Each structure stands twice: as structure tokens, then as C-alpha cells.
Amino acid sequence: MITGASIDAADVTIIQARPRQGLPFCPSCGAEGVLRDHVVRVLTDVPVAGHPTRLHVRLPRYRCTGTQCPQRIFQQRLDCAAVGAKTTNRCTRWILQRLAIDKMSISAVARALGLGWDLVNNLAVDAARTLVYDDPTHLQGVRILGVDEHKWKHVRGGGEDSYVTILVDLTPTIEGTGPARLLDVQAGRSAKVLTDWLAEHTQEFRDRIEVV
């Protein structure tokens, strides 16, 4: 529930809010808690009218009444943001949309949100990994495997590989059923990189591949 709004000296939109109702149940043991105090959780949300936006959510904190529970104090959790996150869930989706659809750079997205480059990059990488690796079907149906190298780093040094190996499912493209699908990105460019990647997966998956 929004309780107030303003624009600060840094041209950031500040929206004050609080939960519509309290949920005083301990996330560790489920016991009902006793109100202790309130804290303000600050979250970055999607920009409003071109201004970076911060949600200042006033959350109740409770004292757990569970006699055996190791968690003595807990605050109300939010559906709009993961525990410990600095941004809302829809802000993370907005970042991916700007990068993938609008072809914006990390720097441009960071400026729009009023955040640092590293934070926005980490949010994008983590979200992309979740989309790929948390899908239990992302390796199903792969018969034609595309493998290529990509030079992602154009500055020498740092102890990191300048090249990565891109692994793509070309089966939908060849069969005319859809676009190619990104399967993985591995550091380095060698036969060993591909061999090690294949070895990480099941024999059933390897047997299904007809063309590389």
C-alpha cells in the first residue's frame, strides 16, 4: 500500500509503502510472532517517468515465540522481492527486457535505474542463468548441437579466458520448428572444453546427439 511519494535532490522518485496486512509467522518454525518494531527496506523498482525509483517499504519485525526456534527475530517478507534482494522482481525482468529487446547496454540500464554497473550486470547474469539452467527441459530434444567460439574480452590480462565456447541447440532451426536455443557458455575454446562439457551430462543426452 502506497503511503507517500516524493522526488529527492538526486532526481530519484521515492515511494513510501507498507504491506496491506501483517504476516506474523516465523519463516523458520511457523510460530506466530509478537510485534517488536518496524524497519524500512529500500528496493530499486522500475523507473517512473524517466526517474530512478526507490521503494521505501516499512516492514514489521516480530519476535518469534517458538521455544526451540533458533531465529529469534524476523521481519515480514515480500512477494515482490526475494529475501536480501536490493531490487524488486519486476525490476530484474525490466533489466532483461531492456538488454534483450531494446539492445541497451549495461551502462545505460544502470544509469536509468541509478545503480552501479556491477550490480546490474550481476542481476542480469543471475537472471539469465536461472532462465536457462532452472528449466528442467532445456537439454531435451537436442539432436543437432552447434558449437562455436566467441571473443568476449578485448582487453588482455586479468587471468581470464578471452574466448568462450557457445553451445546451441540447432535442432529447431533445422527442423523448422523454431529458433535455435542457447544451451550453455563455457570459458575457453578447445576440444577439451567441449569434451568436458559433454562428459558433465548423461549418456542418454550424448547418445541423442546426431550432428555436431
CA separation, residue 95 to residues 48, 129, 210 (Å): 14, 14, 37
Sign of torsion over alpha carbons 50, 52, 55, 56: negative
CB proximity list for 8: less than 8 A, separation 6 or greater: 14
Q: How far apart are CA 11 and CA 91, in angstroms?
A: 18
Residue 4, CA atoms < 13 Å, CB-side half-sphere:
8
pTM: 0.73
- For residue 52, the surrounding DSSP H or E stretch is strand 51-64
Interval 33-59: pLDDT, tens: 999 999 999 999 999 988 999 999 999
Interval 93-131: pLDDT, tens: 999 999 989 999 999 999 999 999 999 999 999 998 888
* Confidence band of 86 (pLDDT split at 50, 70, 90): very high
CB proximity list for 71: less than 8 A, separation 6 or greater: 26, 27, 28, 29, 64
Question: What one-character DSSP code corresponds to residue 12?
Answer: -
Residue 154 has pLDDT above 90, yes or no: no
